[in-house]
Structure 1
Amino acid sequence: MRRSGLIGNTKVTREDWMNLALETLISEGVEAVRVLALGLKLNVSRSSFYWYFKSRQDLLDQLLDYWRNNNTRFIVEQAGRPAASITQAVLNVFECWLDESLFNPRLDFAVRAWSRQSAKVHRIVNEEDDTRVDAIRAMFSRHGYADTEAFVRARVLYFTQIGYYSLEIVEPVSNRLFLTPAYLLTHTGKEPRAGEVEAFAEKMLLKSPG
């Protein structure tokens, strides 16, 4: 196990390095994720970095793993949750779009920007998109949609939201919730069951009080 980096009375943890690297990736792009620059912001020497990471590339690989194990994992988990109806199943996925603890759109956008500079990252992003779409496709299939229809509906649901983020559309949560029944009808072809949207709205408003 690597020891903590100690500078004076300041202990810099692996989480400190990771959190700053994530913030930097999101706000400044992958080129700004440099060991020396991060160390200066943390007020520690570069030697602290090497207690936790083998190299800058190791850090970048771990940033990709973090992105994959959070943004992708939660979409897959939400799409796989048991649901009594397809509209409830889609609402489970919608939680990702309104709860940044399940899906961080700024991080997703940053990784996609990174992918335009790296063939390796571009391939990984495509693989993760496929994984996310396939989880949503399986969700539609479980609720009786034919294979091709399930696949197309999954792509429309997922890529519509990714496009929403890419265009940086900002609207109040209250407006998104008001439109939820129409989104459900558009994505599933079915009206939501009584109480589904109300329960979803209550849950989301508790998580997004603003």
Structure 2
Amino acid sequence: MAVARTARGRWVEEGLRALATGGPEAVRVEVLAQALGVSKGGFYGYFTNRDALLDEVLDLWEREVTDTVIEQVEDGGGDGRARLERLFAIVATAGGASARGVAADLAIRDWARRDEAVAVRLRRVDNRRMAYLRSLFSQFCTDPDDVEVRCMLAFSLRIGVHLIAADHDGRSRAEVMALTRHWLLA
């Protein structure tokens, strides 16, 4: 009887989940195999070593936070404001790849402080995200300085909102986020 192999993509997905929850140190072959319910021997049929897996984990993260998000925004059409509204809604969703993306973003940002190759990749991803934001904001903002400020605030909010525990003077976090979106799109 043939034994079914665990798909390469499942190793990469589990690696990204582990990275998001515990940083790069949590991406260990034995732990991933246990989480997948398989032996670690199958790992070496796909990857030469842990570093090869980590590269593919970063590739998956990059696709999820750039290509996939941009495709979802673009598929809906509309002008720059409509696309930004859709972008904000996509990245605000609490489930699925978006939630993992935030946790992975934070883990990768921390990792990039200690690993130059990861820092280079993070800069590439952040530059791509900022370029996309510029393309959308510039559709209704004519001042390049205004575009850059809105991009920086929107992107900083995406990353930083998860690190802020402050109360909002009688407003809910959701209310403040709605006010912020309205202000950014004005």
TM bracket (short chain): 0.7 to 0.9
Which residue identity does 2:104 align to in structure 1? L
Structure 1 spans left out of the alignment, 5+ residues: 191-210
Richer in helix (by share): 2
Alignment of 1:173-192 (within 5 A): 175=172, 177-179=174-176, 181-188=178-185, 190=186
Which residue identity does 1:132 align to in structure 2? R
Alignment of 1:115-134 (within 5 A): 115-134=112-131
**What residue is the counterpart of 2:90 in the other structure?**
96
Give the CA RMSD over aligned residues. Answer: 3.0
1:83 alignment partner, one of 57, 78, 82: 78
Structure 1 runs of 4+ aligned residues shifted over 4 Å read 78-81, 168-171
Asked which structure has the greater RCO (Cα within 8 Å, sep 6+), the reply is 2
Does the 8 Å contact 1:72/1:132 carry over to 2? yes
Does the 8 Å contact 1:75/1:132 carry over to 2? no
**Residues 1:69 and 2:63 aligned together:** yes
1:38 alignment partner, one of 12, 29, 32: 32
**What residue is the counterpart of 1:14 in the other structure?**
8
TM-score scaled by structure 2?
A: 0.79
1:152 alignment partner, one of 149, 153, 166: 149
> Based on CA coordinates, which of the two structures has the bigger radius of gyration?
1
| Partners of 2:79 and 2:115 in 1: CA distance | 42
**What residue is the counterpart of 1:52 in the other structure?**
46
Structure 2 spans left out of the alignment, 5+ residues: none
The Cα shift of 1:54 comes to 2.5
**What residue is the counterpart of 2:134 in the other structure?**
137
**Residues 1:24 and 2:18 aligned together:** yes
Q: Give the paired residue count.
A: 179
| Partners of 2:50 and 2:63 in 1: CA distance | 20
| Partners of 1:155 and 1:84 in 2: CA distance | 20
Does the 8 Å contact 1:79/1:135 carry over to 2? no
Which residue identity does 1:126 align to in structure 2? R
| Partners of 2:31 and 2:96 in 1: CA distance | 27
Q: What SS class does the counterpart of residue 45 from structure 2 fall into?
A: coil
Which residue identity does 1:94 align to in structure 2? F
Residue identity (%): 25
